[in-house]
Amino acid sequence: MSRLHLHLLSDSTGETLEMVAKAALAQFEDTDVIRHFWPMVRSRQHLDRIMTDIAANPGLVLFTLVNSETRTRLEEHCRALGLPSVPALDAVTDALEDVLGQEAKGKPGRQHLMDDAYFERVEAIQFTIAHDDGVAWEDWEEADIVLAGVSRSSKTPTSIYLANRGYKVANIPIVVESPPPTELFGLRRPLIVGLTTAPERLIQVRRNRLLSLNQAPETAYVDIEKVNREVQFARRMFADNGWPVIDVTRRSIEETAAAVINLLNERHAAGEPAPGANPL
């Protein structure tokens, strides 16, 4: 197995750089990657301190630095050490400059400005946390999205991911013995989406959850017949109400969220009002 020291330098939070690196690394197997993460690099002194660690752990350097002096100094250091350095966003920025006919602003962290969109995202996150797992159903009409599904069908993590994209999300567990409040079936503004999964996969997830809580892994919660009834009950409810359904069995949280957003876009294209969202 090959080993790689990967140095990620950013003059902002480094979130974008981490996502780029993660997406690229997913294409490679049998590689031991040691990440060195350096956010908020905005001074020559800070960069010089970082170079000591880079010299001690030579590898690939990826960076998003908009200050020309800082990035030039980084590139000079890397050349002196014989290390490759890659500006992760330059190609995209250059293409946008050509197409838009204007120069990039060159200001660190512009995507994290505390503008109206930022505060709307904060509000969406607060709403979503306050309306997790069926709580505060009286306010569901204010939501952009309502996710419904049996326990451990990824409702909460998907809700939080969507909230970070600016959507107000509520989620409700579908339980055979405890039907949801009747208000769920009369909602008009939110897009209601059913999340379903294969019973076998659901049992595996639930069993792992029980083990993580140091609880007995063999209970009715993971009984195959009971789980099958739960999943069938939820699917019947989704079908009876005409709610779109997403099978999350082999989907990541990001993929599930993208599918939900596509459903919102289709709803908007069909002429229905689309809830506001502010992508990161």
Phi and psi, residue 199, nearest 5°: -55, -40
What is the residue-wise DSSP string for the chain?
Answer: -EEEEEEEEESS--HHHHHHHHHHHTT--SEEEEEEEE----SHHHHHHHHHHHHHS--EEEEE---HHHHHHHHHHHHHHT--EEETTHHHHHHHHHHHTS-----TTGGG--SHHHHHHHHHHHHHHHTGGGTTGGGGGG-SEEEEESTTSSHHHHHHHHHHTT--EEEEE-BTTBPPPGGGGG--SSEEEEEE--HHHHHHHHHHHHHHTT--S-SGGG-HHHHHHHHHHHHHHHHHHT--EEE-TT--HHHHHHHHHHHHHHHHHTTPPPPP----
Provide the annotated binding site for ADP. Answer: 149-156
